[in-house]
Every structure is written in structure tokens, then in C-alpha cells.
A and B are shown apart, each in its own frame.
Chain A
Amino acid sequence: MRRRDFLKVAGGAAVGVSAPIYLRTAWAQGPIKIGMPAALSGSNAQYGIQARRAAELFARDIKAKGILGRPVEFIYEDTGGDPATAVRKAQKLVEKDGVKFLTGVVLSSEALAVSAKCPEWKVVFMSTINGAGALTAKAFHRYFFRVNTSGPMGARAVSLYLAESPMKRFFALGSDYAWGRDSVGSFTTQITAAKKEVVGTDFPPVGTKDFASYIAKIRQSRADGVYLVLPGQDATIYLKQAHQFGLNREVKPIMEILELENMKAVGDAMVGAIGSSRYPFTVDTPKNRDFVKRFHDLHGIYPDMFDGETYEGLEWLAQVIGKAGTDDVEKVIDAWEDSSYEGLEGPFFMRKCDHQAVQPGFAVECVKDPKYPHPIPRILATYPGEKVTPKCRTEEFS
């Protein structure tokens, strides 16, 4: 037998013998556990359910080969949208179930509370929903990663689009809490820098069920568009009532978040509204079309923003763990920093300085399409990541 053949045979035999050992070792290490303390009940349940839907699809997709040959296990817990419960559940996931990765947290208040504990627990917190700018600025720490578009990035995308549009006068209506205030502030800064005018602002309390007075004020202000930063249900109510007052024809609704949840509840009354979407399912790439099809096959509906962003986060996390060769948290963090990922929406890059994923921003419009049972987001403009992502560890743009 010649030496080359001998080596081939020897190599083949060695692989053949060691393969079972590799698998046995992998099995002995157990599954890779991802904990999801999501709001599955209460008034924000629809967002937690989106995170879970995405995880269910991902679990199915990854089942065949797992990560590093190990199966992936998702453990869901219901936080009810309450920060105290969120921390309790997260602690249980870390201490009892031994998860090393936490994701699927819905509210920014929950995220701030849980994330603050992660350096102590030494687990990775992956945000796929939380938009609060502070998470990658004031409250940043090494164990936090944000895969999703943040609130400031959404406001930025909207402002970039409006800078080019003929609209000149804007009214800003934000709910009276952290997100509402911050986003209106961010928008005001950027739109005035684009030489446009904010003719009025108002901050209705969270849970407002009658916007009639605000609608009257907006109409009086003779604005071209109204920038809306209202949580899901409040936005639904506003859009319905503005439609009933005939306001939407006069003053264009512009939303930092234009999501399917609103479109399904409000229906045709919001056709024509524009805004930013963190993940519009109408992105026309082969990878995304395939994802949408698989999602629809499994769940019977079309993916909304957090369905898509959570799936992207999980896929990227899996890739990064594979690259690190281990689920050891410190090594995964090192592997994730400055890494790239081809997502459903386009290219992503994880900045080392503040762990914010630089990604494309979208300006979308709500349109009717007979192929779908509800209005859908049509992409008006796509902005490259560098243009929509704020400067490192800040909420400002250059």
C-alpha cells in the first residue's frame, strides 16, 4: 500500500473512530439552553408571543443539526409585562435551568432591570425587541447585545425620509413615558436639523382611550404630518378615531413603529400612514421570502416586526456560538463583537463599542394588497446601516 493511500485509510479510520466520541462528548455536554422571559400575558402579550413564534420556527429550523452538534433548548417563562416578575423569572432561568443566553424580553423597563443583573449572573442578554436608547448608551455593559433597530434608529429613518419629502410642518404626539418622550425628542432634533418645523407637541397619558381633544389640536395646528409615538393599543385607538374625524386625510400619520398588529386591528382606516418598520416582511430578498413562507406555513400568519427581529437574533447567536466553538459566555461575547451576519433584512454588523447591531433602516407605507388579508408595509426607502445608527454609546447622530 502506498503512503498516500495508507494515510487516507488511516485518516478515514481515525475519523470513523473519533466521530462517536465527538458526538458522545457533545451529548454529555447537554443542550444549548436559551431562556426567554417574555411577556406572554397581560397587555403586552402580543409582543412576547411574537418572540416565542420566532423561537418556535427557529427551533424547528435548527433541529436537524443543532449548534455545535448539540440540540438547542428554549425555555419560555411568562413575565406578564412586569419588571419584578421578569427579574424573578430570569433569575430562575439562570440559576435553576442554567441558561446562558436570555432573550425575548418585551418591555424596555423589564430589559433594563434584567440586563442590569446579567454581569452578576454572567449571562448574555440579547435584545431583539427593546428600543430604549439607554441600553446601548448609559446602561451599556459587556453582556448586553442589541440585534434590533433601536428607537432612535427608527426616528432617524423616519427623519431621513421626511427630509426629502415636501411636508414641512409636523406635530409630535408621544405617550407620556420614556419611549414617547425620548422618541419625540429625537425626532424634533433631527427634523429641525433638516430645516423643517415642529409646530406642536403633546404627551397624552399611556392608556388614553379618547384622543378627540388631541385630534382637535392637531387639526388646528395645520401640520402636514403628525409624528406618532404611541404604544400598540393607543396607536390603534388614535388611528381609528383620527379616521372617524377625517383627520388622516388632512394630517398624515407618521409612526416611529408601523407594525402589523396595528394594521390588523385598524384595517383600511390606516392605509396611507407612513413610518419606520424594524422588520418589514415585504423585504424582497430570496432569504427573506423563504423565511416568510416557512413562517406562514408554521403559524398561518405573516411575520410582524418582532417575529423577524427575534429570528434574526437567534440565527446570528447560533452562528456566533458556532464560530466561538463553545457556549462559554466570555468566548461567545468575543466572537460576537465586530462580527457580521447576513440577515433577513440585509447585512448586519455588531459594533464592539456598544454592541448595537448596525443594520439597514426602512421607511414604509401602509398599503392595501389583495393578496393579503390585511394591509401590509410597502418599503418606500432603505437606508444603509451607517446612516441610521447613532454614534457609539450615544443616542445622537452625526
Chain B
Amino acid sequence: MIPSRLWALAALVALAVVPWVLARHQLSLLTDLLIAGLFAMSLDLIMGYTGMVSFGHAAYFGLGAYASALVLLHFAQPVPVALLAGAVLAGAVAVPVGWFSTRATGIYFAMLTLAFAQFLYTVAYKWRDLTGGSDGIAGVPKTPLFWGGPSLASSRAFYFLVAACVVLSLFVCRAVVRSPFGRALQAIRENERRFTSLGRDPRPFKLVVFVIAAVFAGLAGALFAPFRGFASPEVMFWVFSGQGLMMVIMGGIGTLVGPVLGAMLFILIQEVLSSYTEHWMIFTGVVFVLIVIFLPGGLVGTARRLGARG
């Protein structure tokens, strides 16, 4: 049974070495996978650890992308400034949305997040002067790391930025879930009524974790905009949120690192299959349904279960 620390170390080494091993387009794909992985991981904070299913998480990814795109395109600030802008905007919007949404629970919470997300999507779609409307914002540049600093234009440089962000976020999120705050979240997930009956109010906890998750989703979106060079309303659509949920389940709900792998799996299936057939969605759907029924712990959950047994 390989201790998880060793897995982590191996993964870090692999991430560091990979730019010299992979071809350029494979590195671009990996960067894409990591960004999606960060998005899925942020969703796991509320889904896996607090038991809140959100159909509106893509909205924060989108907000991060738009903020980052506007900062880079119109103000030509270094990329980290854009990342901060994206994370902050996403978090700021998440506060009122979260405040309202966490007043509902279960399926009502999910529907409410859907309603808010669709509202934000509609705003992005219609506010053409700011967001470019249905065309989105294209031509977003990759500015340097800091004023007068190294360029991030090469795929290797940008990959390192993304990988560093994802690894750091993973560490931060792990710290959050292992803290007393995190244990309270899991208590809420297990049995919210008991939590309340013990004299504690779950709502501030839910609101805080909702905002934290939004911040990381916004960071993922803020990385997306310079990487792909644009931001458009599609990244805020509820179907993308649904895909995020799929990534979390496939990778392993409540494991943080599982959703990152789940995102990679989801996109890789799509990439590989769509070159062979345009009906790849059927295959993805079947794999997903099978995982839901037979492997509810997802990749990582099942692996841990098997590892624990052996």
C-alpha cells in the first residue's frame, strides 16, 4: 500500500518534469486539463465536503474569466493582477448570491444556484458594451509575470504558472478541509439537523465555504482567459456547471484531488473520442452512468477503498 505522501511527491515531480517530455500540443492540453481540474476541485469543496450541490458554479469561472480578460486587454497589467481580479470578482459576487442561496437546502439550493447562474449568464450575454455580448472578448494577451518580468507567452511558461496555481490551491483547500472549520463543514454534510440541534448555525459556514469555492473557480477562469485568449458567455452556462459535477463524481467526491483527475478524464475522453466520431457524447454519458451506479467513489474513492482493503 503506497502511502499517499509518496503519490503526492511523484505527482509533483511529474508535473515539474513533464514540459520537457511532452510535445507542445500535449502540454497545451495538459494546461487545459489542469484549469478544468481546478474548477472541479473548487466545486468539490461545496459538493463533497459540505454536501451542497450547485448548478451555478460555472458562473464564478465565467466571472473570473471576464475580469481577467478585461484587465489584461484594457489595462495590460501583469497576469497575476488579472488572476487576483478574477478571484476577487468571483468571490465578491458569491457573497450576495451565497447569502440568498444558503437560506435554502437540498434541491431548492440547487435550483436557486441554477436561477442565479442563468441570471448572470443572461447579463453577460446582453451587456455587450462590457462583455462583448454573445461574441465575448477575444484577443486577450498573455502579459508578463510582473512588470518587466519574464514573459508567459511560451506554452512552457504558462504551464508552470497554471500548475503552480493548481498545486497551491490544492494545498490551501486541503488545509481548509482539515481545519476545525473544515470538520464543521463535514458535520453539516453528514447531518445538518443535528448540527443545528447542537446549537450551531450552519449558515455562516455554508456561506464562507461557498465564497471560498467561488474564489478558486474564479481563479481557474482567470487562468483560462489568457490561456485561450478569450472569454465568452458559454463558460457560464449551466451545462458547464453540470459537466463540473460530472467531473467531481468521476474523479471522486470529497477527495479534492479526485475531481482534478476526474476533470482530466472527462476532457480526455472527449478529446480522444471526438476525433473518431461526432457521437462521442454517448460514450461519455455511458461511462459516467456506469461510474455513478457502480463506482460512486469515483476514481480516487475506489482506489482508496481498494488500497485500504489490501
Interface residues of A (CB under 8 A from B): 40-41, 45, 77-78, 80, 82-84, 87-88, 91-92, 94-96, 108-109, 112-113, 115-117, 120, 132, 134, 139, 176-179, 181, 206
Contacts and interface: CB of A to CB of B under 8 A. Distances in A.
B234 A112 contact: no
B196 interface: no
Contacts of B232: 83-84, 109, 113
A96 B133 CA distance: 32
Interface string B127-158: 01000011110111000000000000000000
A116 B230 contact: yes
B29 interface: yes
Contacts of B138: 112-113, 115-116, 139
Given A78-B278, A95-B25, A113-B229, 12 more contacts: A40-B278, A41-B278, A45-B278, A87-B228, A87-B229, A87-B230, A88-B29, A109-B234, A113-B230, A115-B138, A120-B229, A132-B135
A112 B132 CA distance: 11
B229 A116 contact: yes
B57 to A, nearest CB: 16
Contacts of A94: 25
Nearest to A40: B278
A116 B73 CA distance: 13
A116 B135 CA distance: 12
Contacts of A84: 224, 228, 232, 234-235
Contact of B25 (A40, A91, A117): A91
Contacts of A116: 138-140, 229-230
A139 B229 CA distance: 13
A109 B135 contact: yes
B194 interface: no
Given A41-B279, A78-B274, A84-B235, A178 B134 contact: yes
A233 to B, nearest CB: 15
Given A41-B279, A84-B235, A96-B23, A134 B229 contact: no
A178 B133 contact: yes
Contacts of B197: none
Contacts of B28: 88, 91-92, 95
Contact of A92 (B25, B234, B278, B281): B25
A160 to B, nearest CB: 27
Nearest to A89: B274
A178 B25 CA distance: 32
B24 interface: yes
Contact of A77 (B134, B139, B275): B275
B32 interface: yes
Given A112-B138, A113-B136, A178-B135, A41 B281 contact: yes
Contact of B125 (A82, A88, A177): A177
27 contacts: A40-B278, A41-B280, A78-B278, A83-B230, A84-B228, A84-B232, A88-B32, A88-B228, A88-B271, A92-B25, A92-B271, A95-B24, A96-B26, A109-B134, A109-B136, A109-B232, A112-B135, A112-B230, A113-B138, A113-B228, A113-B232, A115-B138, A132-B135, A134-B135, A139-B139, A177-B125, A181-B133
A18 to B, nearest CB: 37
B183 interface: no
